[in-house]
Amino acid sequence: MDVRIRHMTESDIPVVSKLEAEAFPEDAPTPLQKELENRLASYLVACYVSPAGKGAEVITGYCGVWLVLDESHLLSIAVKAEYRGRSIGELLLLSALDDVISRGAESMFLEVRISNTTARSLYEKYGFTRLGVRRGYYADNNEDAVVMAASGINEPSYIEFLAARRMVAAGKLREY
Ligand SMILES: CC(C)(COP(=O)(O)OP(=O)(O)OC[C@H]1O[C@@H](n2cnc3c(N)ncnc32)[C@H](O)[C@@H]1OP(=O)(O)O)[C@@H](O)C(=O)NCCC(=O)NCCS
């Protein structure tokens, strides 16, 4: 499977909004148009280029990050249900990390539902550790959020780790 990651553009907003609503039905929609105008924000999309589709792209996932000084924050990451488990989430996270590192980030923070073991496992794989818990953070069901962070993301050893992970993820995607 040929999947490319690129920055989200205005014309992607309807597809990304739909994907977001499917992945996070309980959450308020992100004002994506405003986010595109926000200089602190970066939104990426994962595009599947199908050989049968004559070069047409299918958006299979997206993620958003903010960067404030040297601290970045992963706002959202989701892969369309039928494309999960093929390393697209990893490629998005890798690209988000590359994006903020290139803009000066030293750390990345995020919140994740305590019950979301899939996402927590993805973050742990990338060196995120648990900083604490925000009790009742999610309004829909009063669920706790786990606050996680990865620090030293701009250090050579972490950048080497990302390059190695990218090779593995790209190899796995080629199998599909
Ligand atoms: C979280 C999400 C983005 C992962 O994307 P994905 O493309 O399916 O994940 P990948 O194939 O890249 O898997 C990467 C890692 O995630 C974890 N993971 C993925 N699927 C998993 C599963 N079913 N069970 C447990 N861990 C899983 C593993 O650590 C995996 O690494 P491994 O393959 O070495 O085990 C995707 O499941 C999703 O969109 N979920 C709904 C939205 C969401 O919860 N977003 C996170 C909000 S904080």
The protein residue whose alpha carbon is closest to atom 32 in ligand 1 is 122
CA–centroid distance, residue 162 to ligand 1 (Å): 17
pLDDT band at 49 (very low <50, low <70, confident <90, very high): confident
The predicted pLDDT at position 176 comes to: 85
The protein residue whose alpha carbon is closest to atom 39 in ligand 1 is 78
The predicted pLDDT at position 5 comes to: 96
**Ligand 1 pocket residues where CB is under 6 Å:** 23, 77-79, 84-90, 112, 116-119, 121-122, 125
Q: Which amino acids are annotated catalytic?
A: 111, 123
Q: What is the pLDDT of residues 29-38, one digit of tens each?
A: 999 999 999 9
The predicted pLDDT at position 1 comes to: 87
Residue 18, CA distances (Å) to 31, 99, 155 in order: 13, 24, 36
Task: Kindly tell me if the per-residue pLDDT of 158 is higher than 80.
Answer: yes
Place of tokens 């992963």: 74
Task: Kindly tell me if the per-residue pLDDT of 79 is higher than 80.
Answer: yes
Look at residues 110, 87, 105, 84 and name the one whose alpha carbon lies nearest to residue 166. Answer: 87
The predicted pLDDT at position 50 comes to: 81
The three-state secondary structure class of 42 is strand
Q: What does the DSSP 8-state code read for residue 11?
A: G
Task: Kindly tell me if the per-residue pLDDT of 54 is higher than 90.
Answer: no
The predicted pLDDT at position 159 comes to: 97
pTM of the complete model: 0.97
CA–centroid distance, residue 169 to ligand 1 (Å): 12
Q: Which atom of ligand 1 is nearest to the CA of 88?
A: 7
Residue 113 phi, psi (nearest 5): -60, 140
The three-state secondary structure class of 25 is coil
Its sign, for the CA torsion 85, 108, 144, 60, is negative
The average confidence (pLDDT) of the chain is 96
Q: Quick one: tokens of 34?
A: 């405003």
The predicted pLDDT at position 56 comes to: 86
Task: Kindly tell me if the per-residue pLDDT of 52 is higher than 80.
Answer: no
The predicted pLDDT at position 31 comes to: 97
Question: What percentage of the chain's residues is helix, strand, coil (to nearest 5)?
Answer: 40, 35, 25
Place of tokens 């994962």: 46
Q: Which atom of ligand 1 is nearest to the CA of 85?
A: 11
> Which mutation among 5, 73, 75, 84 tests ligand 1's pocket best, with the greatest number of atoms within 8 A of CB?
84
Q: What is the pLDDT of residues 90-143, one digit of tens each?
A: 999 999 999 999 999 999 999 999 999 999 999 999 999 999 999 999 999 999
* List of domains in the chain: 3-174 (3.40.630.30)
CA distance 74 to 89: 13
By DSSP bridging, strand 41-49 and strand 3-7 are antiparallel
